[in-house]
Amino acid sequence: MGLPNFFQTPKHRQFNVKPRYYDPEKERIENLKKKYDPSTTEEEKLAEAKIRIHEAFQRSPEKPKGLLTTKKLLIYLAVLVLLLLWILR
């Protein structure tokens, strides 16, 4: 009924993903229990605090989502205007 297919089309991929239930409130409570557990030593608490501080510094600040920031746009516009004035002179 149509044109013959000379190339073999790839078959679709199948993934076996088992969804997991995530309860952030339960995790927060477990972390608080672990944090205030009397059996944890000061070294363990200090190590956890160091990890949290290190992770906080590793996070990068949010970058602008647009293609150009306003500063870059103004700089490009100024350069374009200067080039046009130079060419037309």
Q: What are phi and psi of 85, to 5 degrees?
A: -65, -40
Nearest to 80 by CA among 35, 88, 30: 88
Residue with tokens 């990890």: 51
Query: What pLDDT digit, counting tens, does each position of 36-60 carry?
Result: 888 878 888 888 888 888 888 887 6
Predicted local distance difference test score (pLDDT) of residue 13: 82
Q: What are phi and psi of 18, to 5 degrees?
A: -100, 115
Domain boundaries, the chain: 24-60
Using a pLDDT cut of 90, give the percent of the chain over it.
17
pTM value surpassing 0.95: no
